[in-house]
Homo-oligomer: A and B are copies of this chain.
Amino acid sequence: MKSKLHKKRLGFQRERELVRQFWKRGFACMRAPASGAKTKRTPYPDIVAIKNGRIFIIEVKTREKRSTVYIPNGQMLKLLEFSRRSGGLALIALKFIDGSGWRFIEVSKLERTRSGNWKVTPEMWDEGLTIEDLDRMCRGEKSLEEYIKS
Contacts and interface: CB of A to CB of B under 8 A. Distances in A.
Interface in A1-45: 16, 19-20, 23, 26-34, 37, 41-42, 44-45
- Tell me how many chains of this kind the complex includes: 2
Interface stretch (A62-70, A81-89, A96-104, A108-116): A81-89
Contacts of A88: 28, 50, 53
B55 A50 contact: yes
Nearest to A57: B28
A52 interface: yes
A143 to B, nearest CB: 15
Closest CB pairs A-B (n = 7): A28-B86, A53-B87, A28-B85, A50-B86, A28-B82, A33-B33, A52-B87
